[in-house]
Structure 1
Amino acid sequence: MPPRLPGKPTGLVLPFAAHQLTTTNVPLRMFGIKSITSPQPNRFNSGPDLPLLKSTPAAALERKLNSLPLRTGAIAIKKGMTAIFDPETGERTPATVLQLDRVQVISHKTLEKHGYYAVQVGSGWKHPSNVTKALLGHFSANAVSPKRHIYEFRVRDEKGLLPIGQIINADWFQEGQYVDSRSNSKGKGFQGGMKRWGFAGQDRSHGVSLTHRSLGNTAPGQGGGSRVYPGKKMPGNMGNEQNTVQNLRVLKTDPENGIIIISGAVSGPKGCVVRIQDAIKKAWPQIQKAAIESSTESSADPTA
C-alpha cells in the first residue's frame, strides 16, 4: 500500500493575536495602499542650487548658443530676379534683387526680461491713422516712426544688440558672405493631390473613369482603416507658407539705393517681405567697422 501524503491541517490556532505580528519599529502605514516612497522631484522646480531644467527658456538658449547669429538681420523687399555674369569666366549666375526700405532698430529683447536676446527691426512707413494706439505708444517710446513691417532677429548675446533707432543699410552685408532668407512662398490656392504632393494619379483606362486625378481611398492602408490619421496628404491649400533658403551668397551691394543682390532664388512673389540674416551653416563674416560707423552716422542724422 503506497504511503499517504499528509492532508491539509484542520485548523491553525495561533497563541497570539494577528495585530501583534507587526513590530514596534515598523509603521502601520507600510501595509496600506498608498506608497511610502519619497516624492518625485517637481520638473518645474527651479532654483540656484538645482540643475538647469530642459524646458526653460534659459536651457533653450544654451542649446542654441552655437547656432545663433552674432548680429541682427534686415528686412528687405523682393524686387525680382536677374542674372550676373562673371567678367573673368563668363559664368552666368541667377540672382535675386532685394531692396531695404528705411530699416531701423525699434527695440530689444533681453535675457533678464524675455529669456533670450533679440533685436526688433522695422521697415517701410505706415500712416499713424492706420496704426493701433498700443503700437503708436511703442514707436513713440523708442522715438521711431511707425513701420509697416516688424520682425525680430535673435542674436547670441548682448553684443549683437544694436542701439535703438539705428538704421541698417545695404552695407550691413558684405559682398561674398552667405546669408539665409526667410519668406512666404507663392500662394497656389486649393490644389489637388497630384499638384500639391506629387501623387501619380490613377490609370487612364482599365475601367477608370472620371477619377484619373482623384486621390482614391485614404484610410485602409494605415493600420486598420478605422480613421484617417492627422497629417494625411490630401487636397487642400497650397503655398503661402514660410520657407527658408540657406547659404545664398551676396553678389553685390548698393548702399546708396539700398540694393542687395544675392545668388539663387528666394521664395515668394515680387514685392514680398524677405528676412535676411547671416548664414548659420557658414563662417561668420568679419564685421567691418566702416559699415557700422556709416549706419550709426545715418541713424544720428535726422535728415536721413
Structure 2
Amino acid sequence: MSGIIGKKVGMTSIFGADGKNIPCTVIEAGPCVVTQVKTLEKDGYSAIQLAYDEKKEKNTSKQLLGHFKKANTSPKRKLVEFKHFEEEKALGEVISVDLFAEGDYVEVVGTSKGKGFQGVVKRHGFSGVGGQTHGQHNRLRAPGSLGASSWPSRVFKGMRMAGRMGGNRVKIQNLQVLKVFTEQNLLVISGSVPGAKGSYVILEK
C-alpha cells in the first residue's frame, strides 16, 4: 500500500462545486526519503522504510547516523515502514506529495489528542445519575451502580468506567483529497484527522 509521512498543519474549509462549505484538514506531506528497502530474501518480508522531518546530528545516535548515511540523506525524526508499495523504490529516492491526485481517497493514521484521566460522562457519554431531587445534589456526573449482587460479586472486566482518555492510534478511512499543492508539499483532505496541530500522520492510498 503506497503512502507518505506528513504533519498536521490545521483545519480550514473550502467551498465545493455544489456550493457547500466542506470542512477539511491541511497536511504537509513529505518530502520523504527511502532509507531502507526490505526484501523477502533478506528480511523475510518486503517493505520500504520512509523517513521524514529534519533532525540535528547532535541529537541522533551513531547507529542512526550510519543508517541515514547509507541512504545519502540527513538525519530524520520520523521513520515508518510501508508494505506492498505500488512502485519499486530505490534507496535514497525521494517521495513527494505528487504521489496523490485530487479526487483520491486516502486513509490517515494518527495519535489522537490525550485528554488525561476523565470521568464516565466525558469518556463514555454517560448521562449521570439524574436530577437534583431526593438528595441527589452531588451525583450529576457520577457513574452510578457498577456491579451485581451475590453473583458474580465483582465488576466484570471491560466495564466502562473513568480512566485515561485519548492518546490512542486512530485510523480514519475514505477521506478525499480535495486539493494538492505540489510546490508547498501540502494536501487538503476532507474531514478531520486525529491528532493535534504539528503531530505526525501517516497517509495511505
Normalising by structure 1, what TM-score? 0.62
1:12-51 equivalences under 5 Å are none
Determine which structure has the larger helix proportion and give its number: 1
Q: Deviations over 1:205-226 (max 9, x none)?
A: 23334232122332327x9233
1:176 matched to 2:103? The reply is yes
1:185 matched to 2:109? The reply is no
* Partner residue, 2:38: 109
Q: Percent identity between the aligned chains?
A: 41
Question: What letter corresponds to residue 171 of structure 1 in structure 2?
Answer: D
State the distance in 2 between where 1:209 and 1:262 align: 46
* Partner residue, 1:100: 29
Pick the structure with greater CA Rg.
1
1:237-256 equivalences under 5 Å are 237-256=164-183
1:164 matched to 2:103? The reply is no
Q: Is the 8 A contact 1:155 1:161 kept in 2?
A: no
Structure with bigger RCO (C-alpha 8 Å, 6+ apart): 2
* Partner residue, 2:64: 135
Q: Is the 8 A contact 2:34 2:71 kept in 1?
A: no
1:210 matched to 2:138? The reply is yes
Q: Deviations over 1:21-56 (max 9, x none)?
A: xxxxxxxxxxxxxxxxxxxxxxxxxxxxxxxxxxxx
Q: CA RMSD in A?
A: 2.0
State the distance in 2 between where 1:129 and 1:96 align: 33
State the distance in 1 between where 2:195 and 2:41 align: 36
Local SS of the residue matching 1:219:
coil
Q: Deviations over 1:173-230 (max 9, x none)?
A: 0111111000011111111011101112102223334232122332327x92333333
Structure 1: gaps spanning 5 or more residues: 1-68, 279-304
State the distance in 2 between where 1:218 and 1:118 align: 47
1:240-279 equivalences under 5 Å are 240-278=167-205
Question: What letter corresponds to residue 206 of structure 1 in structure 2?
Answer: H
Question: What letter corresponds to residue 105 of structure 1 in structure 2?
Answer: V
Question: What letter corresponds to residue 23 of structure 2 in structure 1?
Answer: P
Question: What letter corresponds to residue 272 of structure 1 in structure 2?
Answer: S
1:8-87 equivalences under 5 Å are 69=1, 72-86=2-16
Report the CA distance between 1:167 and its aligned residue.
1.2
Instruction: Figure out how many residues of one structure are paired with residues of the other and give that number.
Output: 204
State the distance in 2 between where 1:152 and 1:274 align: 13
| Aligned with 1:119 (options 48, 56, 72) | 48
